[in-house]
């Protein structure tokens, strides 16, 4: 059986889809998946053993210059790849109009979320077999249910398993050190934990005898990483790495501290213990999914008179509040 998945973005959404592949592979032993995904995340589906072919798409880039996309032949090559095989099922795991249109272009019966379940209800009009999936649950569980209903197998009762092939990661970057990863970069300004708080937490980690490594993905993130590094003698700002390199670093860490970002979801998928920090967002439906994942939200924090942090929403989530949770994870890893 061959199935095409359409789940193009974002990093967290792509990662949230992986446990559904694990379920399907256990229920249907001969199943293989192809996957349409944004070019920037094309590495991720290849980490799952049930994925055969990845078909990169570049909607984000193409829509900036549609004429150039047509002239360059990129659109033609994408359509050719998409239509090269006839599928037993095509599943839109995104629920957007753009993903539904791609799903409709592929060869094979197509499945997706119905109008009451999709993020963009109009997308449901394009599916042959729209399925109802309850909103009131985590995104991982929603995708698992969509796959089970689309491919007609019973949904496993146990939590979802990502089943990443870690042999594909570069794990030689940091040797002979016990370290914590600080995952500080995110797109929303209000999702950033204050830089001063990172610096203070770094000092607590150092005092506990641990090394700290900090990845980055943009010049602005690199600048923040270098500023945090000045606060402690045992911080290593990594070179710019691809996803495989960052995955290798995270997989070998003793623990991580992460804001609400794609690499935080990758940390959970790699089963690295982590403390995730949530300010304007809530973890119930889209938080880091997996074992040894601690979610801290600002409304959990004690209310007290503190100097305003930047961003202000994180003022009550001080390093003194975060550190005991991280310390507990480190102690559990050491035992």
Q: Percentage of residues in the chain with pLDDT exceeding 70?
A: 100
User: What pLDDT shows up at residue 171?
Assistant: 72
Asked if CATH classification 3.40.50.2000 holds for the domain at 2-163, the reply, yes or no, is: yes
Q: Where are the alpha helices (DSSP H) in the chain?
A: 11-27, 59-62, 66-72, 74-82, 97-105, 139-151, 195-207, 219-229, 243-251, 262-269, 283-286, 319-334
Mean pLDDT, residues 148-163 taken together: 97
98-112 average pLDDT score? 97
> Mean per-residue pLDDT for 24-44?
97
Query: What mean pLDDT do residues 108-134 have?
Result: 97
**202 close to 172: Cβ distance less than 8 angstroms:** no
**DSSP codes of every residue in 106-133:** SBS-EEEE-TTTSSSGGGGGG-SEEE--
Q: Is the dihedral of CA 36, 42, 48, 50 positive or negative?
A: positive
**Domain locations along the chain:** 2-163, 170-334
**pTM summary value:** 0.94
Reported CATH class of domain 170-334: alpha beta
Average pLDDT, integer, range 70-74 = 81
Per-residue pLDDT band for 294 (boundaries 50, 70, 90) equals very high
Checking if the pLDDT of 73 tops 90, the result is no
Q: Is the dihedral of CA 129, 133, 138, 140 positive or negative?
A: negative
Residue 61: per-residue pLDDT:
82
Which of 259, 254, 234 lies closest to 328, judged by CA?
254
* Count of CB atoms situated within 10 Å of the CB of 27: 16
For residue 97 the two structure tokens come to: 């109009």
User: Per-residue pLDDT for 70 more than 80?
Assistant: no
Query: How many CA atoms are closer than 13 Å to the CA of 220, on its beta-carbon side?
Result: 7
Q: Do domains 2-163 and 170-334 have the same CATH topology?
A: yes
Q: Which helix (H) or strand (E) holds 6?
A: strand 2-6
Distance, CA of 163 to CA of 154 (rounded, Å): 19
Q: What is the mean pLDDT of residues 265-292?
A: 96
């Amino acid at each position: 059986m061959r199935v095409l998945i359409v789940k193009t973005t974002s990093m967290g959404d792509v990662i949230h889809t992986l446990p559904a592949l694990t379920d399907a592979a256990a229920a249907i032993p001969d199943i293989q998946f192809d996957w349409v995904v944004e070019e920037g995340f094309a590495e991720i589906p290849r980490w799952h053993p049930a994925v055969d072919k990845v078909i990169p798409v570049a909607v984000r880039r193409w829509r900036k210059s549609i004429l150039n996309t047509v002239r360059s032949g990129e659109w033609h090559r994408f359509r050719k790849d998409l239509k090269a095989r006839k599928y037993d099922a095509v599943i839109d795991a995104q629920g957007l109009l753009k993903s539904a249109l791609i799903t409709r272009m592929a060869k094979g019966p197509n499945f997706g979320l119905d109008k009451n379940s999709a993020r963009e209800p109009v997308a449901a009009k394009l599916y042959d077999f729209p399925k109802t999936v309850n909103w009131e649950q985590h995104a991982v569980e929603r995708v698992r249910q969509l796959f089970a209903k689309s491919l007609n197998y019973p949904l496993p009762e146990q939590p979802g398993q990502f089943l990443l092939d870690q042999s594909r990661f570069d794990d030689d970057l940091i040797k002979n050190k016990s370290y914590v990863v600080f995952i500080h970069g995110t797109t929303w300004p209000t999702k950033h934990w204050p830089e001063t708080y990172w610096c203070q937490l770094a000092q607590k980690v150092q005092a506990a005898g641990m090394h700290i490594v900090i990845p980055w993905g943009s010049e602005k993130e690199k600048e923040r990483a270098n500023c945090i590094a000045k606060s402690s003698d045992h911080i290593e700002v990594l070179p710019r790495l691809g996803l495989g390199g960052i995955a290798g670093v995270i997989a070998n860490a003793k623990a991580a501290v992460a804001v609400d970002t794609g690499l935080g979801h990758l940390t959970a998928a790699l089963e690295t213990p982590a403390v995730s920090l949530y300010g304007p967002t809530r973890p119930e439906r889209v938080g880091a999914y997996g074992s040894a994942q601690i979610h801290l939200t600002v409304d959990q924090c004690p209310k007290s008179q503190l100097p305003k942090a930047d961003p202000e929403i994180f003022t009550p989530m001080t390093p003194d509040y975060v550190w005991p949770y991280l310390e507990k994870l480190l102690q559990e890893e050491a035992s």
